[in-house]
Amino acid sequence: MRIYMNTEIIIRMAKKSDAAELLNIYAPYVRDTAITFEYAVPTINEFSDRMQKTLSKYPYLVAVQNEEIIGYAYASTFKERAAYDWAVETTIYVKQEIRKSGVGKKLYQALEEVLKQQHVCNLYACIAYPNPPSIAFHERLGYQTIGHFSKCGYKFETWYDMIWMEKMIAEHVINPKPFIPVTALDD
């Protein structure tokens, strides 16, 4: 196991060439947990295509330490209708052996900064329940539980609940500034 203490973490936008490393982080969550309700680990092509679709509109950030990707976070469409342009769903995964190291917080803080530049107001996290560590993580970052759905996900011969958590990162004004795709932001 690698030690990740006291070394700089660089957060940057993901690149297509990162797909294999990111998939290696994601795969254990698919295979071994109900944190994601996905049953099968996607192929590298499927995963890369998902990344590219996200990057066409939203930030997809990676945390790099000692030249190794140790986590990632991204935003995605909350709902397809134009009226939802100011709301996004957030997602985060870090290497399992470094959870609780602070990298998740750094990723989400950086993600929020980019989303603010895009004029996003509302952040939503969809979390399998029970999942005390993820819920506590989101609560520490200012999210609040706003919805609880019973037995809506089935994995590993178990029915799981799902909760939605919400965080507001901007004021809700009449005639808000238009959403700006991440590709239109200055570096």
pLDDT in the model for residue 133: 94
pLDDT in the model for residue 3: 42
Q: Report yes or no on 187 lying in a domain.
A: no
Q: Report yes or no on 79 lying in a domain.
A: yes
User: CA 110, CA 47: separation in Å to the nearest integer?
Assistant: 22
pLDDT in the model for residue 98: 84
Number of folded domains that form the chain: 1
Q: Report yes or no on 65 lying in a domain.
A: yes
Q: In residues, how long is the chain?
A: 187
Q: Report yes or no on 4 lying in a domain.
A: no
Q: Report yes or no on 186 lying in a domain.
A: no
pLDDT in the model for residue 69: 97
- The domain that holds 34 is classified in CATH as 3.40.630.30
Q: What is the mean pLDDT of each run of 10 residues along the chain (187 residues)?
A: 62 97 98 96 98 97 96 97 97 90 94 98 97 96 98 97 98 96 89
Half-sphere exposure in the Cβ direction for 120 (13 Å, CA): 27
User: CA 105, CA 42: separation in Å to the nearest integer?
Assistant: 26
> Pick from 105, 141, 110: which is nearest to 124 by CA?
141
Domain hosting residue 139, numbered range: 9-180
Give the Cβ contact number of residue 89 at 10 Å.
17
Looking at the whole model, is its pTM more than 0.85? yes
Q: Report yes or no on 112 lying in a domain.
A: yes
pLDDT in the model for residue 72: 98
